[in-house]
Structure 1
Amino acid sequence: MTALVFAGVVFVIITGLAAAAKLAPWLSLCLAVISMLFQLVAAARGIMADGQELAGHVQTILRVVHWIIDFFHNLYARHREDVEMILSEVTRIIDFFLNLCAAWYHEEAEQYTLAQVRAATNNFADLIGQGVSGRVYKGTLDDGRKVAVKRLEDGLRRAEDTFGVELALLQPLSHEHVVRLVGSCAEGEHRILVYEHVDKGTLRGNLDNNNAAAPPSWITRVQVLLGAARAIEYLHGEDVIHGNVTSANILLDRSLTPRVAGFGASVRQELGVPSEAVDIVQTEGYGDPEYDTTRRLKPATDVYSLGVVMLEVLTGQPPVRANNATLVSWALPSIQARKLKDVLDWRPTSNPTPGQRKALKMVAKTAASCLCRDGDSRRSISRVVKELEEALKLICNG
C-alpha cells in the first residue's frame, strides 16, 4: 500500500510540473485541490476496517470533488480553456484515487421493496427518460442518494429476461465510466433496476443545437469520447458486448465525466466465441451494417457505434438528420476526402488552435476507421483509446 501511495505522490508531482509551465497563475489553486484530495483519501483509508463506512466516505469524496469542480467552472468562466486544462489534469488524479478506492471496496447491489421504490420516486412522478425496455424515473433514497429508477414495462416475460440480463451483467462491474447499479426490485409483476443518478443529462442532450448558448468545448468533447472508449474497452475485457452504444446512453455528471449506460441489449460473450447470434434492435443511425447482414453481435459492433458518436461530437449533429439521411452518409464522405471543415461544428470556437485542429483531424480519422463496413477492418477498442489519449494531449498542449 505504501508503494501505491508513493506512486500517487510521484504522479501528482509530475502532472503538476507538466501543467505549471503554462498554467502558473492557476497552480496554487490546483495544488490546493490536490491537497484536499489527499486529505480526503487519507481519511477514507483510516476507516477501511468498516466497508460500509468506507463506501459512504467515498461518496463524500465524490460530492466534494464535484463541488470543487463546479466552483472552478463558476469562478473562472472567463478563462474557460485554462481552467479546463487544469481540470483535465485534476481528473487524471481523481481517477487514480478512485481506482484505488474501487480496489479496496466493491459495493454490492441492494434489494428494494416496491414500497421503497414508490417512496423514492414519489410513485414514479418524475419521468426523465424512456428506452426500448422501459421508462426511467428520478428518485431519492432514504439516505439522500439521488438515483435513476428504470421500470421495465415490456410485459412480465420480456421484463424478466431484460431484468435478469442487466442484473447479471452489471453486478460484477466496477469502472469509473460505467454507470453503477445501486439495487433492484423484483416484486409481483414489477421488475425494476436502480442506478446512480448522473445529473448533467446525456451527451446527445448537451450537443443538441438547441443548447447553443453553452456548447461543450473541444477539450470536454474529447474527454467524454475518451471516457466512453475506456468504458467500452473495460466491458470488452470483461467479455461484455454493450450492443447499443449511443450518445443518449452516455451520461454526464456535473464535472462532465461520462458514464456509459443502457445495457438492455448487452450480452456476455462466450469464451473463444468471436460473435454471438442474438436478435437486438439497433438504434436508428447507429446500426452496424455487418450485424444487419450476419445477425451476429461482436465487439466490433460497439466500435462502429462509437464511431457514430465521434461524428456527433465532431459535427454537433444528431445520428439521423432532418432529411432522414444518416449522419454517417452525410459526414463520412467529407472526412474521407479530408474536408473536415465542411462538416465541423464551429460553435466551440470559430478559430481552433493548431493543437485543436490536429487533434480533431486525428479524432475524425479514428472515427472513419471505426465505421468500416467490415468489422474485422475496424480499429480495436484499445487502439481507439490510445488515439483519443493522444488527441487529448494535443488539445491540452494547444
Structure 2
Amino acid sequence: MSCSCFGASVARRKRRDPHDHQDLEGQPFENIKTFSYNELGTATDNFHPRNKIGRGGFGTVYKGILKDGREVAVKTLSAESKQGLREFLAEITTISNVKHPNLVELIGCCAQGTNRALVYEYLENNSLDHALLGSKRNAQLDWRIRSAICIGAARGLAYLHEELLPHIVHRDIKASNILLDQDFTPKIGDFGLAKLFPDNVTHISTKIAGTTGYLAPEYVLGGQLTMKADVYSFGILILEIVSGKSSSKANCGGMEKFLLEWAWQLYEEGKLLELVDPELDDFPKEEVLKYMKVAFFCAQAAANQRPMMSQVVDMLSRDIRLNEKQLKAPGFFRDSGGLSAFPSSNINKSHESSSTYQMSSVPTTITEVIPR
C-alpha cells in the first residue's frame, strides 16, 4: 500500500464538507469502484427483505450479486442520519487502500443524491456475534476454530496498529464486527468509528464512541483514545469467544455481573475453567486457560499495562509462558447506579479491597519464552 497516496486521500477527504450532498454526487473515490444506486438495486433485487443479512446503527446490510456474478454485502446508510454520513466518509477514507487477510475488503461505494451505500466482499458465515451468540449457534465452532478466530483477529488489529501509516484505531472491536468467511477466517469490519492515529502523538482526545461492555477505562472517563483502547476491547472479545457469552449482558454465572468481572472472580477463586462454553466438549485446558489470561492482560485497568497487539499475537500463537505475577485486576467497577461496564480511569484495582485503587505507571514484562 502506498502510504503517501493514503495520506493524500485523507487530506482530500478532510477538505470536504461531509454534509454537502452535491459535492459527493458523482465523486470518484480512490482505489474503489463507484456504483449507481440502480446497479445496487439490481444486485439486491431492489433491497428485498429476503436479502437482508444484518442491521447496524446506521443502516441495513443486504446480500447482492453483481453483474459479473460476484457476491457482495451492500451496507446502506440512512439518508436522514448526519452521523451516518460522517461514518460513510470515514469508512471509505480509512480502508479504501487497506488490504489484509483479516480485514474485510471494501469493493466500492454509492454516493448518488441522498443515497449512500458501501459494497463489501460477502462473507458466508456472517458475523462472529451471529455464529457464537445468536439464537442459531454454529455447531462447527470447536476450539480449533475459536483459537484461529482469536489469532486472526489479533493479526488484523496488529496490522492496523503497527504496520499501517498512519496507524488506525478501530474504536468498535466487538463480536458483531468480526465477520467470518466460508472457512471461518475472521475479518475485521465496520470502520465507521475508526480514527487515524499519527505516529508522533501519544493520544487523541475525542468524544466517546463504541459499545457498552467493550470500552476502555481511560477512554470512557477521560476521552483519551490510544491504540490500547482497542486492546482492551479485544480482551473482552477473547472472553466472549471462550465463554460463548455476551459482554454486554450483566447476568453472568447467575449473578448481576458483567462477563469481565465474573471471569476475574473465577480466576481469583481458581475456577476459571467454569467460564468455558459448555458447547465445547473437548478442548486443551492449558491452552484455553492461557487465552483467558491473555484476555486479562489486554483488559488491565491501566492502559500502559496492556500489551501491544503484536505481543498479543505472539502470546496466543507461540509457546510462551505468561508472567502472571504482573497480572492485576482488570478495569471494571460498580457505580452508584449499580454494575457498570465502564471501568475506572487509568488505575489498577487492588486485590485487597473493592473500594481501594492503586496507581500504576511502571511498564511490565508479561511473557517468558519457554525453553525447548
- Normalising by structure 2, report the TM-score: 0.72
Change over 3 Å in CA distance of 1:332–1:209 after alignment to 2: farther
- Report the counterpart of residue 157 of structure 1 in structure 2: 82
| TM superposition shift of 1:270 | 2.2
1:225 aligns with 2:157: no
1:109 counterpart (4, 10, 32): 32
1:252 aligns with 2:180: yes
User: Partners in 1 of 2:141 and 2:102 — Cα distance?
Assistant: 18
Residue identity opposite 1:266 in structure 2: A
User: Partners in 2 of 1:335 and 1:123 — Cα distance?
Assistant: 51
- Report the counterpart of residue 43 of structure 1 in structure 2: none
1:371 aligns with 2:299: yes
User: Partners in 1 of 2:38 and 2:94 — Cα distance?
Assistant: 25
User: Partners in 2 of 1:332 and 1:142 — Cα distance?
Assistant: 52
| TM superposition shift of 1:281 | 2.6
Residue identity opposite 1:347 in structure 2: E
- Normalising by structure 1, report the TM-score: 0.67
Larger proportion of helix: 1
Residue identity opposite 1:339 in structure 2: K
- Report the counterpart of residue 31 of structure 1 in structure 2: none
- Report the counterpart of residue 94 of structure 2 in structure 1: 169
1:320 aligns with 2:248: yes
User: Partners in 2 of 1:268 and 1:386 — Cα distance?
Assistant: 25
Secondary structure in 2 aligned to 1:119? helix
Change over 3 Å in CA distance of 1:307–1:253 after alignment to 2: same
- Report the counterpart of residue 93 of structure 1 in structure 2: none
> Equivalences for 1:37-56 in 2 at 5 Å?
none
Q: Is the 8 A contact 1:127 1:135 kept in 2?
A: yes
Change over 3 Å in CA distance of 1:325–1:273 after alignment to 2: same
User: Partners in 1 of 2:278 and 2:115 — Cα distance?
Assistant: 46
Change over 3 Å in CA distance of 1:250–1:212 after alignment to 2: closer
| TM superposition shift of 1:391 | 6.6
User: Partners in 2 of 1:112 and 1:140 — Cα distance?
Assistant: 13
- Report the counterpart of residue 146 of structure 1 in structure 2: 71
Q: Is the 8 A contact 1:198 1:253 kept in 2?
A: yes
- Report the counterpart of residue 44 of structure 2 in structure 1: 121
RMSD of the alignment, in Å? 2.0
- Report the counterpart of residue 224 of structure 2 in structure 1: 296
User: Partners in 2 of 1:339 and 1:318 — Cα distance?
Assistant: 19
Secondary structure in 2 aligned to 1:282? coil
1:332 aligns with 2:264: yes
| TM superposition shift of 1:157 | 3.5
> Equivalences for 1:51-200 in 2 at 5 Å?
108-125=31-48, 126-153=51-78, 155=80, 157-200=82-125
Residue identity opposite 1:193 in structure 2: L
Identity of aligned residues (%): 32
Change over 3 Å in CA distance of 1:154–1:305 after alignment to 2: farther
Change over 3 Å in CA distance of 1:212–1:127 after alignment to 2: closer
| TM superposition shift of 1:209 | 6.8
Q: How many residues align?
A: 282
Residue identity opposite 1:328 in structure 2: L
Q: List runs of 5+ in structure 2 lacking aligned partners.
A: 1-29, 321-372
| TM superposition shift of 1:341 | 1.6
1:193-230 CA distance string (max 9 Å, x none): 11001110111222127446715111110000000000
- Report the counterpart of residue 327 of structure 2 in structure 1: none
| TM superposition shift of 1:377 | 0.9
| TM superposition shift of 1:178 | 0.1
1:207 counterpart (101, 110, 132): 132
1:302-339 CA distance string (max 9 Å, x none): 10111011001111111123637421122222134442
1:282 aligns with 2:210: yes
User: Partners in 2 of 1:389 and 1:154 — Cα distance?
Assistant: 44
Q: Is the 8 A contact 2:108 2:119 kept in 1?
A: yes
Residue identity opposite 1:159 in structure 2: G
1:228-272 CA distance string (max 9 Å, x none): 000000011220000000011101111111111011110101231
Residue identity opposite 1:341 in structure 2: L
Which moved further from structure 2: 131-140 or 244-253? 131-140
User: Partners in 2 of 1:138 and 1:368 — Cα distance?
Assistant: 37
Change over 3 Å in CA distance of 1:299–1:342 after alignment to 2: same
User: Partners in 2 of 1:304 and 1:184 — Cα distance?
Assistant: 31
Change over 3 Å in CA distance of 1:175–1:166 after alignment to 2: same
Residue identity opposite 2:116 in structure 1: R
Secondary structure in 2 aligned to 1:359? helix
